[in-house]
Structure 1
Amino acid sequence: MQVISNRNRLQRRKLLAALAVSPALMARFRSAQALEPGIRQGKLRLSVMPQVWGNLELSIEERCEVLAALGFAGMDLPQPDQIPILEDYGLAPAMMVGTGTTFENGLIRRELHDQIEEATHAGIDTCAAAGCPNLIALPGERRGMSREEGADHAVEILSRVAPYAEENGVNVCMEITNSKVAADNRTDQVFDDIEWGFDVCRRTGSPNIKIVYDFYHVQIANGDVVRTMRDNLELICHAHVAGVPSRAEIDDTSEMNYRYIAREIADMDYDGFVALEYRPSAGRNPLVSLAVCYDIMTVI
């Protein structure tokens, strides 16, 4: 692992103070200083979404140091200028943004297709330059549109960008949400049924149009999460995990058995990233939660 420079010593002291609440985590962190960057401790390539840090004010260097010490392989949604920092710690960019889509105005808005195509080409270029395999694209809100029409529009724009994605070796991927939990603020999303997304991917006919398989959302929207993933593995390039029903940690506060799920994912020979996307529970140290949840998803 890289040596922390003088200008980062204050950040390092802050980081160690946060870790000190857990002797086990502190010991693991210190022992990891002797490891070479990129050493992994399990079969799955684990990553994190920004939510896992909660309200902790950690620099990108501090976050990378924690992730590398625990054994993570990557980070979701880094900025392009952060890629060299990730590389210093043996971490990879797992997924990036750059399609011009939002949860409100996504792929199904045909009037935005020209803008989305231009933005997606630029996003593919960014991913290719960074060595990032996945570019996320959001299907968007229905606002009265039928799911069938939305699927047609999504297939249309994804078919337009697919050749460029294939040429550059980048997956353009859609993430499922759910329309049931009001607190998630996604009650009008067109992609609230995993089969809708699989159908869109198949209709494009491209190996580079795929799905971000979010276990939290799939459990709420469809259930049968392991079998569904296994049966459609060729359409999945990235996965997210969070506890159900509260979207908190993936430990025994969740109704889902993520140790079992992790073993099943590994047995599928899935080769994409699995990113933690839970929100830390109030009153819990986010760094301790991160270590616990990493352990749950580690399959030796």
Structure 2
Amino acid sequence: MTTSDRIPDSRRRTMLGHLAATAAALGAAPLIASADTAPRKSPNKTGPGRLKQSLSRWTSKAPLPELCKRLKTIGFVGVDLLYADEWSVVTDNGMAVSMGYPAKRDNFIEMGFNDPANHATLIKEIETTIPLAKRAGVTNVITMFGNRKAGIDDQRAIDNCVAGLSKIAPYAAENGITLCLELLNSKVDHHGYQGDRTAFGVAVAKGVNSPNVKLLYDIYHMQIMEGDVIRTIRDNIQWIGHFHTGGVPGRHDIDGSQELNYRAIAMAIADLNYQGFIAHEFMPSRPDPFESFADAFRTCTV
């Protein structure tokens, strides 16, 4: 694996660190509520085609207002993976926040619901974020399974995730928020991550059994871990609330330079009457990154 292969996820991890608020006693600073208490209506346009497409914020160096304007010109309807203090910029530009973070801390990926020692912190973060998300019209909040810990095998980790998420799921449902647990690869980018297989994530989602706890199915990560992407999506779509894209190998453009047929994948997702977002999350390789973004958008416009 080359250094460039590691850039996207390491950059995302670095952003989490640089943007981190001063750590509280529990290791995470709660987000500060906005003074604006009036609920915002999140844009709900689908754009061209049958899929709502967004772009992960970390993939672009452009200032957020400029990013929104340029993405709208292409046809995108949302921006993905944003902190609460960024949400209003996106919604004020007539776009949706397709996925929000519940906290700013540099161990966000590693600290998950698989370990009961994390539950109090994670639940507090989410409880703080849910009313902010509701007011801002943000309907998806990301959370993690976490890295493996000694003495916590997969079955125990599943049980722990179910126990912790079941405590916060009713509050999420009450406020119309979906908690999305991200599936990541442990082979290349996130060594030690426990939620690295679709079956693991589905077992958790089934155990919680709430329409407000679903999987963030990252196509890039699951291609690395298990492949058979279209069949897996078709078999498990009821447990999937969000998608991420990225070219394999290297997490670059989703074009003919990589091994996945994203046009076919997008068609399969749209044919399932999927109503959520598909968010592009890759490191653009072209000199003008917006050419990469526009090409990805065209590929998934089905």
Structure-2-length-normalised TM-score: 0.80
Determine if the alignment matches structure 1 residue 238 to structure 2 residue 242.
yes
Determine if the alignment matches structure 1 residue 214 to structure 2 residue 218.
yes
> Sequence identity, in percent?
37
Larger CA Rg, structure 1 vs 2: 1
Which of 167, 173, 178 is the aligned partner of 1:160?
167
Which of 138, 145, 149 is the aligned partner of 2:144?
138
**Structural mapping, 1:121-132, within 5 Å:** 121-132=127-138
Unaligned runs of 5+ in 2: 1-43
Structure-1-length-normalised TM-score: 0.81
Report if the CA contact (8 A) 2:51-2:277 is conserved. Answer: yes
Aligned residues: 256
How many angstroms does 1:212 deviate by?
A: 0.3
Report if the CA contact (8 A) 1:151-1:200 is conserved. Answer: yes
Report if the CA contact (8 A) 2:45-2:52 is conserved. Answer: no
Tell me which stretches of 4 or more aligned residues in structure 1 moved more than 6 Å: none
Unaligned runs of 5+ in 1: 1-36
How many angstroms does 1:40 deviate by?
A: 1.7
Counterpart residue number, 2:208? 204
Q: Structure 1, residues 82-101: CA drift from partner, whole Å, max 9, x if none? A: 33332333210101111687
DSSP 3-state at the match of 1:106: coil
Report if the CA contact (8 A) 2:248-2:259 is conserved. Answer: yes
In structure 2, distance between residues paired with 1:163 and 1:125: 13
Question: Larger helix proportion, structure 1 or 2?
Answer: 1
How many angstroms does 1:39 deviate by?
A: 7.6
Counterpart residue number, 1:14? none
In structure 2, distance between residues paired with 1:44 and 1:180: 30
Q: Structure 1, residues 193-231: CA drift from partner, whole Å, max 9, x if none? A: 110000001011211110001111111112111111111
Counterpart residue number, 1:67? 71
Counterpart residue number, 1:4? none
Determine if the alignment matches structure 1 residue 290 to structure 2 residue 296.
no
Which of 189, 193, 202 is the aligned partner of 2:193?
189
How many angstroms does 1:104 deviate by?
A: 1.9
Report if the CA contact (8 A) 1:165-1:172 is conserved. Answer: yes
Determine if the alignment matches structure 1 residue 42 to structure 2 residue 42.
no
Counterpart residue number, 1:13? none
Q: Structure 1, residues 72-118: CA drift from partner, whole Å, max 9, x if none? A: 01111223333333233321010111168722221122122122211
DSSP 3-state at the match of 1:275: strand
DSSP 3-state at the match of 2:98: strand
In structure 1, distance between residues paired with 2:261 and 2:148: 33
Q: Structure 1, residues 34-81: CA drift from partner, whole Å, max 9, x if none? A: xxx95822211000112332xx3x211100001111110111122333
Which of 89, 95, 117 is the aligned partner of 2:123?
117
Which of 271, 274, 280 is the aligned partner of 2:284?
280
Report if the CA contact (8 A) 2:154-2:194 is conserved. Answer: yes
- Cα distance change of structure 1 residues 38 and 111 upon mapping to structure 2, 3 Å threshold: closer
Determine if the alignment matches structure 1 residue 178 to structure 2 residue 185.
yes
Counterpart residue number, 1:25? none
Counterpart residue number, 1:149? 156
